[in-house]
Amino acid sequence: MHLSRRGLLKAGAGGALAVAVPLAGTPHRAEAAGRLPEEALAAGLSAVTDAGMVGVFAEARDGGCRWRGASGLADVDTGRPMRHFFQHRVGSITKTFVATTLLQLVGEGRLALDAPIGRHLPQYAVDGVTVEMLLNHTSGIGDYDTVLFTSGEDVERHRYTTFTPDQLVRLGLAAPRTGTPGERFDYSNTNYILAGLLIERLTGRPATEEIDRRVIRPLRLTDTYFPGRRTRITGPHSAAYLPWYDGNLRDFNVTNMSWAWTAGALISTSADLNRFFRALLGGRLLRRAELARMRSTVPLVPEQPEAGGYGLGLYWLGLPGGPYWGHDGLVFGHSTISLHSPDGTRQVTLGSNVTHYAAPGAPDPIADATFAFLITALGGSSARTPGPVRARTVSPLPGGPALVHPLPPAAGRQTG
């Protein structure tokens, strides 16, 4: 649920697959931009689908000015266009909501970040692991979803399976350790299942209800919710595509998200996510001390500390014009990234509807186009000029056969 961040650290924003789809006549939906570069944003979003993404939407903000747009298709079978207001499975952006809730409990004196997790969850005690290590991914605890999902068949097999948080934690604790506690950053969704269980132990209420009570409802995020065991997104939405072994796209938008729970099950919109991060970074959700702890980071890449750092459910990236704070999320078929200036006044959130794509290091025109759009929206400048669009070899999931999707040429794209 974090491939986009890795792509950005390689100077490109990930979360996309190059596929050939009919895009002619798919309109943009945009509002007046004010100080935002409306034409450049519209062209930038079109470039993402010109490069091969099926559908993409975004909202950019600069203070009181807002631009919203969409490009491409929500459904390749019906030709239904993407829309900027669609609800989307936002994956690991859930973690920022969870960390915010726990930090509110810290501010109330009900939790200490340096407390061992065994103090509150003795059945899951791991020597040396503290609450803070869960939230900044330095616990060394293994990632349960690397055990659950090793192939496309696993995704299909578990499409309607209901998992309990205890099952997920047990899988993670049984997985190989990624390091000693506090040693280094190593992303693990198990950390945030444990964080959800901490919320329940401390409040006596279901974690998703407590997050709704403390964060979602006070901010009036009317399109943001946890689906629970419901398999369908309740509002307007796009398909959620994975490239399948037969060379076609398979839609996973109907699925049971209990496997992600407080690590990544949230549904939201670009507008709601921008409102949430604006409130968070603007100090409306946390006291100054807790927000400072949230922003205290460990390097994402120890050998490259200037690239970015992970705090408590929040990271910063050293992109042109940055740093920018936020998070990304990736579940099967839906990818989202949400980045913001340190004060939350300059913002962009982007979602796309195909995931799990190329082998690392392969040429990625969609990543180039997405990166350029994000930097344009945030007011920076990118020296990168995307190369010519070309066919790409993609793999649907580890262990799957390679697929080749020829891409349509991008009109007006510069070569280089």
Supply the residues annotated as catalytic: 92
Alpha carbon distances (Å) from 231 to 226, 257, 265: 11, 7, 11
98 CB contacts (<8 Å, ≥6 apart)?
A: 192, 195, 196, 199, 207, 211, 262, 313
Alpha carbon distances (Å) from 318 to 134, 300, 315: 23, 11, 10
Contact 84, 238 (CB under 8 A): no
Rounded distance between C-alpha atoms, residue 68 and residue 41, angstroms = 9
Rounded distance between C-alpha atoms, residue 216 and residue 222, angstroms = 8
Residue type, 266: L
Alpha carbon distances (Å) from 386 to 42, 75, 410: 17, 27, 11
Rounded distance between C-alpha atoms, residue 131 and residue 119, angstroms = 10
Question: How many secondary structure helices (H) and strands (E) does the chain include?
Answer: 13, 14
Which two structure tokens, joined as six digits, stand for 269?
């919109």
Alpha carbon distances (Å) from 247 to 20, 305, 404, 405: 11, 39, 8, 8
C-beta neighbour count of 81 within 10 angstroms: 19
Contact 102, 265 (CB under 8 A): no
First to last CA, the chain: 31
Packed helices 270-281 and 94-107: angle between N→C axes, nearest 10 degrees: 30
